[in-house]
């Protein structure tokens, strides 16, 4: 039943009462094409503008769109279809008009046109066709304005396309001839599409010449029809594009050239909500231009919640899009925009808002500026006024169609805020006219990146992005710029990851246009990314774009000692021209040179160097030529090598020939203190293992013990490269020293020193009510805290109690007994390997935590012999 080509719902109601009747109508495709009979524009002064009405069931009624689906874009498409159906030109506008004094019957309709339909009935209706049984009275209507004799293409586009004019009830293109910028201005203006775009001038006409209408406009006509016209055989004019029509303003500040960006849609001003990510400076510039202001200076976003017009992203992706801002949608927005434009100055036609032809406001229009007598100071003030940083260049450029130049001659001093604040003269009429030459200015927001270079001694560097220095070598980093201005200071910063390290920042006044930063001997910490930039005296807070350099610090690789069991002793080899070779023993070689080798290898001082004739035949070696003093950091810093043949080589032994021994505690640690450090009990034995990695056979270890201003040492031969020492712990520190006799010299190497953290916390105590330290409940250390010792033990006996008494300086043990508690508690369980003669309980036994309901008491013979302070570790005993 609903196979009809079209179906529309008409809703027709009285307030408070409505009923729905379903109705479908079938029309023939032929009869509806361009059929104006069922739609018309009334009361608009012409058949191409006015209130939109439709005839249905023989009754003409105002058309009112339901709110839903009647966004501005949708409605504009309806208007396009309506204009086409009326045989008019392009749709210029459609407005929702409310006149409360004038109620009239209406069709309420939901239509979705895509703009290409020939009649409104062809448009898709969102609901099915519905009709309201009674008329609806409404005060609102849709006012459509079409151009009457001009349209873009077939009227599908709004603000761009090839132009067609009505001729003999048909539409035909216009002549290219005479269709100049003035004519485009008139057309764009007629369509309410703002000014024409300046771009597409170059596109050439197409097609064969035909008899077309040629227009000659002055530019101030309100319609193309008002321009002088004639008929000619000519080529068709190319398509034109207008900038689009939209009303915007900046509000909230004193002048109209800065403030919150607002737009007007259907009579209502709202802030414009935009996608910040898509907003570009040229969009702000369009706004400034539209408002007759100068170039944009800044655009800031700020958050504010409220009603706004949302601009679809397509508007901003392509600001030249003619549908710009014709598709605003109501929206609640958090992000609004503050635009600041220069009031009186702009640069036009350049790469960006900060370069181009200088123009100043002159009444409602803009005037360009002669290059003659234009000064650097004038240009500097202009750049600063536009928020464009500093002046990069200014020059004179020829413009074939330049507008009138201003007669003002600026005489800025350079510090003025606005160009128009500068003192001026009036150009002498007698002076030579500047003709078609105008001032063009290029400003730069920041200086261009400098050059950054690494400099090292006698190294042929590849100065690419990655540069290398050898450890211990001095180096320098230079920065230089080709800027027109002399930089004020140059800054070098060291980057760690993405972070600039504030501590590593060096600033130097520029010498000429560069600066050199000298570094001491390269260390590992010098490796990383360096960033150089610079500023100018007139804008010291503003640094240029940076240039970076990644510095790699590499180890020395050009010297080594081989065949000596140690990297610090052996036959000397030097790498030169990528060849490792021995060095022949010649006149210049001495302990001084050997000292440099030892230092370069990080092997301490030189102990000996000697000539070795180990090879019967002569072979290719390096001959060393010295200018060494002995304090240099690397051999090749103070000498050179050359090809040579010799049977002699050099052997070098440095002090640090031996590896550093290790010192480890085997036993004697009594507890862990509160900071987690290991503790040794005073007066108890401690056993230490001194060891060294297998390198040379033999040798001996000494253990150096420093305590209370006294140093004494114990000595043991090295057995399997280690030795074990047991001694009584005292306050102080100790270290292992390994000694060996090698290369006819005594060598020794010392371990790190071990700090003996002596504690009087001895892991055992007796506690009783009378405060007698020599009898009572036995508390022992378990996991760093004192706990009762559980009596549920098979090993505990008087023998163990005697160790406790001895340890506490309480003489011999009298008794040990057993106290039972009503409930179990966390205690210490004792595991023993004691024979009873030990000096401390935990030297021969160990504890674990345990739940138990009986504990041990101990009674010793004597008082404590020392005034040892008992450390209870804050434990409370819940007995």
Ligand X SMILES: *[C@@H]1O[C@H](CO)[C@@H](O)[C@H](O)[C@H]1NC(C)=O
- Should residue 677 be labelled a site residue for ligand X when binding is judged by CB under 6 A? yes
Interface with ligand X, residue 839, by CB under 6 A = no
Q: How far is CA 794 from the centre of its chain?
A: 70
Q: Identify whether the C-beta of residue 48 lies closer than 8 Å to the C-beta of residue 88.
A: yes
Instruction: Verify binding: residue 575, ligand X, rule CB under 6 A.
Output: no
Report the residue number, 481 or 702, with the smaller CB distance to ligand X.
Answer: 702
DSSP class of residue 870 equals: P
Q: How far is the CB of 290 from ligand X (least distance, A)?
A: 18
Stretch that binds ligand X, among 266-274, 314-322, 414-422, 511-519 (CB under 6 A): 314-322
The distance of closest approach from Cβ of residue 621 to ligand X in the complex, given in angstroms and rounded to an integer, is 9
10 Å Cβ neighbour count for 563? Answer: 12
Q: Which stretch binds ligand X (CB under 6 A): 45-53, 354-362, 528-536, 790-798?
A: 790-798
CA angle 24-27-33, nearest 5°?
135
CB of 707 to ligand X, least distance (A): 9
Interface with ligand X, residue 298, by CB under 6 A = no
Q: Which is closer to ligand X, CB of 393 or CB of 643?
A: 643
The reply to whether 620 sits near ligand X by the rule CB under 6 A is: yes
Residues 6+ apart with CB under 8 A from 20: 11, 130, 131, 132, 133
> Should residue 757 be labelled a site residue for ligand X when binding is judged by CB under 6 A?
yes
CB of 641 to ligand X, least distance (A): 11
Told to check if 501 binds ligand X by CB under 6 A, we report no
Among 4, 33, 102, 866, which residue interacts with ligand X (rule: CB under 6 A)?
102
693: contact with ligand X by CB under 6 A = yes
How would you class 693 by CB atoms within 10 Å of its CB: exposed for 0-12, middle for 13-18, buried for 19 or more? exposed
Query: Which one among 4, 99, 255, 396 touches ligand X, defined by CB under 6 A?
Result: 99
- Return the residue of 643, 715, 746, 837 that touches ligand X, per CB under 6 A: 643
- The whole-angstrom separation of Cα 492 and Cα 684 is 58
Q: According to CB under 6 A, which one of 689, 716, 868, 872 is a site residue for ligand X?
A: 689
> Taking the complex as a whole, how short is the minimal distance between the CB of residue 624 and ligand X, in angstroms?
15
**Binding track over 647-666 against ligand X, x by CB under 6 A:** ---------------x---x
Residue in 4, 34, 645, 728 binding ligand X, rule: CB under 6 A: 645
Task: Give the one residue of 34, 220, 365, 711 binding ligand X; rule: CB under 6 A.
Answer: 220
CA distances from 829 to 388, 768, 802, 847 (A): 81, 20, 18, 5
323 binds ligand X (CB under 6 A): yes
In order of 264, 581, 797, 838, 839, the CA distances from 835 in angstroms are 101, 65, 11, 7, 11
Structure tokens at 417: 């805020």
Residue closer to ligand X (CB basis): 491 or 829: 829
**Dihedral (CA of 364, 365, 371, 377) sign:** positive
- 369 forms part of the interface with ligand X (CB under 6 A): no
Residue with tokens 């000292």: 595
Residues 553 and 522: beta-carbon distance below 8 Å = yes
Q: What is the C-alpha to C-alpha distance for residues 61 and 286, in angstroms, rounded to an integer?
A: 42
**667 in contact with ligand X (CB under 6 A):** no
Taking Cα atoms as reference points, which of 96, 98, 79 lies closest to residue 138?
Answer: 98
Per rule CB under 6 A, is residue 753 in the interface with ligand X?
Answer: no
Q: Which residue is nearest to ligand X (CB)?
A: 677
Residue 69: strand, helix, or coil: coil
* Contacting residues for 61 by C-beta, under 8 A, at least 6 apart: 53, 54, 55, 104, 105, 106, 107, 135
Considering only 279, 624, 796, 830, the residue that binds ligand X (CB under 6 A) is: 796
Q: Note whether 101 binds ligand X by CB under 6 A.
A: yes
What's the min distance (Å) between Cβ of 757 and ligand X? 4
Minimal CA–CA distance to 95: which of 36, 157, 43, 50?
50
Sole binder of ligand X in the list 814, 821, 844, 870 (CB under 6 A)? 814
Q: What ranges in 270-389 are assigned the alpha helix state H?
A: 281-290, 313-317, 376-385
**Is residue 810 a contact point for ligand X (CB under 6 A)?**
no
Compute the least distance from the CB of residue 515 to ligand X, in Å.
Answer: 40
**Nearest distance from residue 652's CB to ligand X, in Å?**
23
For residues 561 and 568, the answer to whether their CB atoms sit within 8 Å is yes
Q: Looking at beta carbons only, is 1 or 708 nearer to ligand X?
A: 708
Which lies closer to ligand X via its Cβ, residue 38 or residue 825? 825
Distance CA 192, CA 159 (A): 8
Among 355, 681, 691, 807, binds ligand X (CB under 6 A): 691
* Among 506, 450, 509, 513, residue whose Cα is nearest residue 476: 506
**Contact yes or no for 185/219 (Cβ under 8 A):** yes
Rounded distance between C-alpha atoms, residue 801 and residue 680, angstroms: 22
Q: Give CA–CA dist 94/250, Å, rounded.
A: 25
Stretch that binds ligand X, among 145-153, 356-364, 446-454, 684-692 (CB under 6 A): 684-692
Query: Which stretches of the chain bind ligand X, using CB under 6 A?
Result: 99, 101-102, 218, 220, 314, 318, 321, 323, 327, 620, 643, 645, 662, 666, 675, 677-678, 680, 689, 691-693, 708-709, 722, 724, 754-757, 775, 791-793, 796, 814-815, 818, 820, 854, 859
């Amino acid at each position: 039943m609903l196979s009809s080509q079209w179906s529309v719902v008409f809703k027709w109601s009285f307030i408070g009462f409505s009923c729905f009747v379903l109705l479908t109508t079938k029309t023939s495709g032929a009869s509806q094409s361009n059929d104006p009979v069922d739609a018309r524009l009334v009361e608009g002064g012409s058949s191409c503008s006015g209130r939109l009405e439709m005839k249905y069931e023989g009754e003409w009624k105002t058309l009112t769109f339901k709110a839903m689906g009647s966004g501005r874009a949708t409605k504009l498409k309806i208007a396009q279809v309506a204009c086409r159906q009326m045989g008019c030109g392009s749709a210029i506008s459609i407005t929702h008009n409310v006149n409360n004094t004038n109620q009239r019957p209406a069709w309420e309709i939901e239509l979705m046109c895509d703009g290409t339909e020939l009649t409104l009935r062809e448009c898709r209706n969102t609901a099915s066709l519905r009709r309201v049984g009674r008329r609806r009275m409404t005060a609102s209507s849709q006012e459509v304005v079409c151009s009457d004799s001009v349209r873009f293409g077939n009227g599908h586009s709004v603000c761009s396309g090839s132009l067609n004019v009505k001729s003999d009830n048909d539409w035909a293109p216009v002549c290219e001839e005479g269709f100049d910028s003035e004519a485009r201005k008139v057309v764009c203006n007629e369509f309410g599409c703002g000014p024409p775009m300046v771009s597409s001038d170059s596109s050439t006409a197409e097609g064969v010449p035909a008899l077309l209408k040629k227009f000659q406009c002055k530019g101030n006509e309100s319609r193309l029809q008002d321009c002088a016209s004639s008929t000619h055989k000519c080529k068709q004019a190319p398509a034109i594009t207008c900038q689009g029509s939209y009303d915007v303003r900046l509000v909230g500040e004193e002048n109209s050239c800065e403030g919150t960006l607002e737009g007007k849609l259907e009579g209502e001003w709202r802030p414009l909500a935009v996608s910040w990510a898509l907003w570009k400076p040229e969009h702000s510039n369009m706004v400034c231009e539209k408002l007759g202001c100068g170039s944009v200076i800044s655009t800031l976003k700020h958050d504010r919640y409220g009603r706004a017009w949302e601009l679809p992203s397509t508007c901003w992706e392509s600001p030249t899009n003619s549908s710009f801002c014709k598709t605003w949608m109501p929206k609640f927005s958090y992000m609004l925009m503050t635009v600041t434009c220069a009031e009186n100055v702009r640069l036009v036609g350049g790469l960006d808002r900060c370069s181009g032809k200088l123009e100043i406001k002159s009444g409602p229009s803009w005037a360009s500026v002669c290059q003659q007598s234009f000064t650097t100071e004038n240009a500097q003030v202009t750049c600063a006024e536009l928020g464009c940083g500093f002046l990069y260049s200014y020059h004179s450029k020829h413009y074939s169609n330049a507008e009138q130049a201003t007669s003002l001659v600026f005489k800025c001093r350079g510090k003025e805020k606005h160009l128009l604040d500068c003192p001026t003269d009036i150009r002498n009429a007698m002076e030579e006219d500047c003709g078609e030459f105008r001032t063009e200015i290029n400003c730069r927001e920041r200086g261009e990146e400098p050059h950054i270079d690494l400099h090292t001694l006698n190294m042929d560097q590849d100065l690419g992005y990655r540069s290398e220095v050898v450890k211990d070598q001095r180096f320098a980093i230079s920065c230089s710029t080709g800027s027109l201005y002399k930089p004020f200071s140059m800054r070098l910063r060291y980057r760690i990851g993405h972070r600039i390290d504030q501590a590593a920042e060096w600033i130097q006044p520029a010498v000429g246009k560069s600066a050199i930063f000298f570094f001491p001997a390269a260390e590992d910490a010098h490796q990383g990314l360096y960033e150089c930039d610079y500023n100018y005296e007139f804008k010291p807070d503003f640094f240029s774009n940076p240039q970076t350099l990644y510095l790699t610090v590499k180890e020395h690789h050009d010297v080594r000692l081989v065949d000596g069991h140690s990297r610090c002793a052996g036959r000397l080899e030097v790498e030169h021209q990528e060849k490792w070779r021995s060095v022949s023993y010649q006149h210049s070689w001495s302990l001084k040179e050997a000292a440099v080798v030892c230092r370069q290898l990080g092997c301490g001082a030189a102990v000996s160097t000697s000539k070795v004739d180990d090879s019967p035949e002569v072979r290719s070696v390096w001959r060393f030529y010295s200018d060494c003093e002995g304090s240099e950091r690397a051999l090749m810093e103070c000498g050179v090598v050359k090809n040579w043949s010799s049977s002699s080589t050099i052997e070098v032994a440095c002090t640090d020939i031996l590896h550093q021994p290790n010192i480890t505690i085997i036993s004697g640690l009594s507890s862990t203190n509160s900071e987690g450090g290991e503790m040794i009990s005073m007066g108890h034995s401690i056993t230490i293992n001194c060891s060294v990695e297998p390198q040379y056979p033999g040798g001996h270890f000494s253990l150096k013990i420093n305590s209370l201003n006294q140093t004494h040492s114990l000595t043991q031969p090295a057995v399997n490269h280690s030795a074990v020492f047991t001694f009584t712990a005292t306050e102080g520190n100790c270290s292992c020293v390994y000694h060996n006799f090698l290369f006819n010299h005594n060598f020794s190497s010392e371990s790190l020193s071990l700090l003996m953290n002596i504690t009087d916390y001895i892991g055992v105590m007796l506690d009783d009510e009378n405060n007698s330290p020599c009898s009572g409940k036995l508390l022992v250390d378990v996991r760093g805290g004192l706990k009762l010792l559980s009596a549920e033990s098979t090993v505990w006996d008087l023998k163990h109690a005697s160790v406790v008494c001895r340890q506490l300086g309480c003489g011999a043990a009298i008794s040990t007994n057993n106290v039972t508690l009503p409930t179990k508690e966390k205690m210490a369980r004792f595991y023993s390997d004691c024979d009873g003669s030990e000096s401390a309980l935990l030297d021969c036994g160990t504890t674990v935590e345990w739940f138990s309901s009986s504990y041990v008491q101990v009674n010793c013979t004597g008082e404590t012999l020392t005034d040892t302070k008992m450390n209870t570790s804050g434990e409370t005993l819940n007995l």
